[in-house]
Chain A
């Protein structure tokens, strides 16, 4: 009888174990996978940056600054203008309720410089240049162009990845600065030009409320985002052939999607982390 009770308890335990195992196994495996990828991406970034001062890198980097930076200015400018305009309107009608319309300039400028400028710029670059980076490198991978570089003794990391990461590090802060300027101008257009705020007060508040620490904080964020976005996008393209869920062109499309989604998620997570350190 005692033996039977023991056996029943064993069975119960093993059922519980198997349910636990079935539930936690995939979570654990996924977690390990994520940690593996994070480590691999960090090594990937460090190896790429190791070649930043190698021969012919300046020319390639300038070319990438053109693709990542110069060619993104129009879209970043447009988004900045409308973001500033919306902020101008929303904040005006909110501040009117508290009789504080005078601080509109401060509110618009600080929101843009500290937060929205770096984040929205990074997201726009991810959408425009990051996805293109992943797709281009991914296609080069699946068509064996990267293997061809290796057989020619051309380091694919130095040739393809280093200039892109370096160009992103140069372009992100510059585009963020442009975003901030145009955003503040957009806030002026609506908060002053459209709904009748005082132009002098708006500009005075912008001038007096923005400290150098706000600007440098925004730049620090944009640098962090540059590293994150360029590393994720290049990493996804470079290892597109290692995907287990797809092959060929399908893997390029999935890698591009993953690159954009992961970049956006990591931009927001790192934004919180950097903000909590800066404040």
Chain B
């Protein structure tokens, strides 16, 4: 593995007599999206603020590019931290400045760019975050969601190397929340920055994360991939994660990944009588292009609507489903063989098209402007499984067998 970009070495931080970070050591790698999870008040924000130098450690070292921050002089620190952006939990927007000026501020004061270059860059970020209509308004005139997006646009304005997001989706509705997460994922891919997120949006945030760090009682109790976290057993999971996952089920009607696996194990793997069943993997094709055409919010609305339709349709025939990636869903049909599953999937395509075509067309026309028609197409792959087979290998087979089951174009207003 590469050398870590950010490293905490035995960091301890106390406020009066309260120890917030207790001998914490962790590593964050270049190009990764690392999510820090933990209950409120365990010191996640404190941890992040150590990286930008807003808080100094009482003991231990924070290393950036392998260099300890406490031993750098101001000039070296400035140089090293030049590539870091921080998105505050409460946005920390400059309330006396307009949206445009807020986004332009880091460019105006820390770069030598000309007025026109700054304008072009700022407007690009403002348009990407769907804020063009409010560019000359003040933060106090914006909704909570818009303020978040202004903070996001400002954090990304300088094309940073590292972006620290302190609960970027707090106070957002589920659609906006996922829209912000997908925006972060998209910019992370496009700009290539290293992202560190503090988030409670489980499991959605795991879809965009490479690494998870769990903080509990002032200590790091888990460091690893989201997949590894699925198998992580600790009281923390029952105190914190479990409640979030259950909430997710209520909101979307889909199982969380963990609950999906649990049901799979009890219903199919634990079954003494070996029986065959079908697994379907759905994918919204060309999701990035759809996001570009419709915008992040509408794309998330589309994702939610597909998820809800899959969940309702297949629950009625005894199946259970989960979201398995940013643009991917999985349904297990315990009482169906391959042939029946094919018929059910064809039926679902008909059902979805009939019920959703008008709604989606309306949504596209009413709210979003795009130069060309947006093509929405859903692919599905089906594979047969048996009780003692590993779910991942069945999913891979289904994934490989994907075929488009539904395509339609939604035309938008002219720009």
Contact = CB atoms under 8 A, between A and B. Distances in A.
Interface stretch (B76-84, B343-351, B379-387): B76-84
Interface residues of A, number: 14
Interface in B90-107: 90, 92-95, 105-106
Contact of A151 (B54, B90, B94, B109): B54
A148 B53 CA distance: 12
Contacts of A143: 90, 92, 95
B260 interface: no
Q: In which size bucket is the chain B interface? A: 20 to 34
B222 interface: no
B81 A147 contact: no
Contact of B52 (A139, A150, A159): A150
Contacts of B52: 150-151
A144 interface: yes
B113 to A, nearest CB: 14
A144 B109 contact: no
A154 B81 CA distance: 12
Nearest to B82: A153
A148 B94 contact: yes
Interface in A139-190: 139-140, 143-145, 147-148, 150-154, 159
Contacts of B266: none
Of A143, A148, A150, most B-chain CB atoms within 10 Å: A148
B78 A147 contact: no
B92 A145 contact: yes
A174 B225 CA distance: 65
B86 interface: yes
Contact of B110 (A140, A145, A153): A153
Given A152-B109, A152-B110, A154-B109, A144 B88 contact: yes
A140 B90 CA distance: 12
Interface in A219-259: none
B110 A151 contact: no
Given A153-B78, A153-B82, A147 B92 contact: yes
Nearest to B84: A151
B167 to A, nearest CB: 13
A147 B94 contact: no
A147 B49 CA distance: 10
Contacts of B35: none
B110 A148 contact: no
Of A140, A151, A154, A159, most B-chain CB atoms within 10 Å: A151
Given A143-B92, A154-B110, A148 B86 contact: yes
Contacts of B81: 153
A154 B158 CA distance: 13
Contacts of A152: 85, 105-106, 109-110
Contact of B54 (A139, A147, A154, A159): A147
Contact of A144 (B78, B92, B105): B92
B76 to A, nearest CB: 13
Contacts of B84: 151
Contacts of A147: 49, 54, 88, 92
Contacts of A153: 78, 81-82, 109-110
A150 B90 CA distance: 16
Of B52, B53, B92, most A-chain CB atoms within 10 Å: B92
Contacts of B85: 151-152
B54 A150 contact: yes
A139 B82 CA distance: 26
Contact of B88 (A56, A140, A148, A154): A148
A152 B87 CA distance: 11
B95 A145 contact: yes
Nearest to B157: A152
A145 B53 contact: no
Interface in B18-54: 49, 52-54
Contacts of B90: 143-144
B95 to A, nearest CB: 7
Contacts of B95: 139, 143, 145
B92 A148 contact: yes
Nearest to B53: A150
Contact of A145 (B78, B94, B106): B94
A133 to B, nearest CB: 13
A145 B78 CA distance: 19
Contacts of B106: 152, 154
Contacts of B82: 153
Contacts of A145: 92-95
Contacts of A139: 95
Of B82, B88, B105, B109, most A-chain CB atoms within 10 Å: B109
A153 B110 CA distance: 7
A151 B82 CA distance: 9
A145 B151 CA distance: 12
Nearest to A151: B86
Interface in A117-147: 139-140, 143-145, 147
A121 to B, nearest CB: 27
23 contacts: A56-B109, A139-B95, A140-B94, A144-B88, A144-B92, A145-B92, A145-B93, A145-B94, A147-B92, A148-B86, A148-B88, A148-B92, A148-B94, A150-B52, A151-B52, A151-B54, A152-B109, A153-B78, A153-B109, A154-B105, A154-B109, A154-B110, A159-B109
Given A143-B90, A147-B92, A153-B78, 4 more contacts: A145-B92, A145-B93, A148-B93, A150-B52
Shortest beta-carbon contacts, A-B, top 8:
A148-B92, A151-B86, A144-B92, A152-B106, A154-B109, A151-B52, A153-B110, A144-B88
